[in-house]
Amino acid sequence: MSNFVHLHIHSEFSLLDGANRIKDLPKRAKELGMDSIAITDHGVMYGAIDFYKACKAEGVKPIIGCEVYVAPRSRFDKEPNIDNKYNHLILLAKNNEGYKNLSKLVSIGFTEGYYYKPRIDLEVLEKYHEGLICLSACLAGSVNQALLNGQNEKAEEIALWHKKVFGKDYYIEIQNNGIKEQVLANQRLVALARKLDIPLVATNDAHYLKREDAYNHEVLLCIQTGKRMSDMDRMRFDTDELYVKSPEEMSEYFKAFPDAIENTVKIAKECNVEFEFGHTILPNYDVPEEFPTHYDYFKKLCDDGIKKRYGENPSKEILDRAEYELGVIQKMGYVDYFLIVWDFIHYAKTNGIPVGPGRGSGAGSIIAYAIEITDIDPIKYGLLFERFLNPERISMPDFDVDFCYERRQDVIDYVSEKYGHDHVSQIITFGTMAAKMVIRDVARVLDMPYSEADSLARMIPNELHITIKKAIEQNKELSNLYETDETVKKVLDIAMGLEGMPRQASTHACRDCYN
């Protein structure tokens, strides 16, 4: 077991703030001799699954957490200049119950508390605290803020409330980040922790991987805030210390507080979230009482549909194809999936909501065509069912369904009412900083004239998944500029460092997830 574990880390999913790529974090932890590492993105858990998988692949223990935003009053209060002054708090999942509670808190932050940021409050924190470890966070934490403002009694009151709720799982967090206010805060935090018998924990609030990545991170912050590096009032950290430090560096800085280092290892040992993959959970579809099983009802729909589509006496080819598909669907456990999709498409069509004819591999299913999930005849067009569902490749089938934009919400509302609002969500999509866009962003931040930035971006070929590195290899003019022009080289080097990172999150236009 390593003698230090990072418990406060921001990945690329702290959008335009964290510059740590998910895939790099466990590799770096391993290089530095650490066998565990946490993810604590701002207000979200977008990267949790990818982080878990990346850590497991490297033999590093993943610790799933979040740096939540806490409303100054109730999460429902949204008054300007008051309720936008939120505080930070680190929450780490000890077990799967803790993971569920953390997911619940983060969701509430968006659905009930969103005001500039997704915020929770003390009420829901107390309600869903089981299975969670709580750290007092960075300088933006409420304890830190009170201490820095000379409000010692308030700081004690805040710390004692958290100690009452979390018990031995509440820690006062001290950091080594090169920020001058932190030195003063650490002195007061240590005194407070000793007075109230609350354990200390050392973190580094790492926003980037290595010290040399600090400048790229500053550029990233400028992209987020719409500023330039030359702007005096831009958001900045004024430090190059917010990187994934080695255990030796952390132990040296906190040698006066060895317990703060030891507690990182203690916390890591207590965090044991395990995810299961490959197990699909579908909501129950209620079939009419006269049918003994879901399959019986499904087969009746299919038999009726085949006759409706192909007449009372379908050919042997059609009947054999339908029987084969039914067998595969039943064997792979997707009868309910077909019934659920059929149901909401049937609802749309019977309520005058336009539905697309079907896209993607789902159009290869004669069963989908028979029950009017799709309107494309796979026999006529020679479409293969195996592209959609194949016993040799166990994966969830995927129907691409297009609903009328103006009435799509009606379908979502129907499904929500039927299966419960807590079982229905729309899929998130991330806009990433693709080659041309990131060049323009970085060039603006570095004060490159627009005409030059535009010319540089236009040198990137219009090719799917093109990267800046590949463009330099393909385009001789761009390659020459990169080799001979220092400004161009600087822009492109920084752009390559940020390329592909998520820029913003939004709701996928069409696809909806039912679970």
83-103 pLDDT tens trace = 999 999 999 999 999 999 999
The C-alpha atoms of residue 261 and residue 255 are separated, in whole angstroms, by 9
Average pLDDT of span 267-277: 94
What was the pLDDT predicted at 510?
56
Handedness of CA 295, 300, 303, 304 (dihedral sign): negative
pLDDT at 233 over 50: yes
Name the pTM for this structure: 0.88
The C-alpha atoms of residue 314 and residue 306 are separated, in whole angstroms, by 8
450-468 pLDDT tens trace: 999 999 999 999 888 899 9
Q: How confident is the model at residue 397 (pLDDT cuts 50, 70, 90)?
A: confident
What was the pLDDT predicted at 515?
40
User: What does the radius of gyration of the chain's CA atoms come to, in whole angstroms?
Assistant: 27
Q: How confident is the model at residue 511 (pLDDT cuts 50, 70, 90)?
A: very low
What was the pLDDT predicted at 509?
66
Domain 434-499's class?
mainly alpha
Average pLDDT of span 103-109: 97
Phi, psi values for residue 155, rounded to 5°: -60, -40
Is the backbone of residue 235 left (phi > 0), alpha (psi -120 to 50) or beta? beta
The C-alpha atoms of residue 104 and residue 131 are separated, in whole angstroms, by 12
131-167 pLDDT tens trace: 999 999 999 999 999 999 999 999 999 999 999 999 9
The C-alpha atoms of residue 127 and residue 136 are separated, in whole angstroms, by 18
According to CATH, where is 1.10.10.1600 located in the chain?
434-499
According to CATH, where is 3.20.20.140 located in the chain?
24-270
Q: Which structure tokens are listed for 473?
A: 């290899």
Average pLDDT of the chain? 93
28-66 pLDDT tens trace: 999 999 999 999 999 999 999 999 999 999 999 999 999
Residue 440, SS3?
helix
Beta pairing, strands 200-203 & 132-135:
unpaired
CATH topology (fold) of 24-270:
TIM Barrel (3.20.20)
Average pLDDT of span 356-370: 91
Average pLDDT of span 241-245: 96
Q: How confident is the model at residue 375 (pLDDT cuts 50, 70, 90)?
A: very high
Distances in whole angstroms, Cα of residue 36 to Cα of each of 48, 198, 407, 455: 14, 24, 47, 45
Average pLDDT of span 433-448: 95
